[in-house]
């Protein structure tokens, strides 16, 4: 009986460690996006995004789509931006995740909300989709 309890505890412990490490890896991916866009680090942004990522928003009641590659091109190495980002939430199951991120632009008086979809591709978490909106303050 004691052997069964020990085996169960080990299996549960391994699952918890795996879940924690996935959350840490997702957080790292999101921080590559947040810090890369704030600090002018296009390689970090590229590392966070899947090559097929698209960004979506609504402009004048119309859907706007932008490729991730074009978006990355807006950020030049070493050119800092007035962006303060934070992760609001992360939810994941197995190899799929969603996250909510806020990006504050104090100089523009805008607070952006990004909804990210992530997948674990070849052992690495990648942002595959970003929908966003903003409010003025």
Which residues are CB-neighbours of 39 under 8 A, at least 6 positions away? 80, 81
Provide the pLDDT for residue 10: 44
| pLDDT tens-digit map of 65-111 | 999 999 999 999 999 999 999 999 999 999 999 999 999 999 999 99
| pTM of the complete model | 0.85
**pLDDT tens digits along 115-136:** 999 999 999 999 999 999 999 9
List the beta bridge partners of residue 128. none
Q: How many CA atoms lie within 13 A of 58 on its CB side?
A: 6
- The CA distance from 62 to 65, in Å, is 10
Q: CB–CB of 36/42 below 8 Å?
A: yes
The overall average pLDDT reported for the chain is: 91
């Amino acid at each position: 009986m004691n052997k069964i309890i020990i085996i169960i505890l080990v299996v549960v412990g391994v699952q918890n460690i795996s879940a924690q490490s996935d959350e840490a890896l997702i957080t790292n991916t999101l921080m590559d996006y947040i810090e890369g866009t704030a600090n002018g680090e296009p390689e970090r942004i590229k590392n966070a995004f899947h090559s097929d990522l698209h960004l979506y928003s609504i402009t004048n009641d119309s859907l706007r789509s932008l490729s991730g590659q074009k978006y990355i091109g807006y950020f030049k190495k070493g050119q800092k931006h007035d962006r303060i980002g934070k992760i609001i939430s992360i939810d994941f199951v197995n190899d799929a995740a969603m996250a909510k991120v806020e990006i504050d632009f104090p100089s523009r008086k805008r607070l952006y909300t990004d909804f990210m979809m992530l997948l674990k591709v070849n052992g690495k978490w990648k942002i595959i989709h970003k929908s966003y909106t903003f409010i003025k303050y």
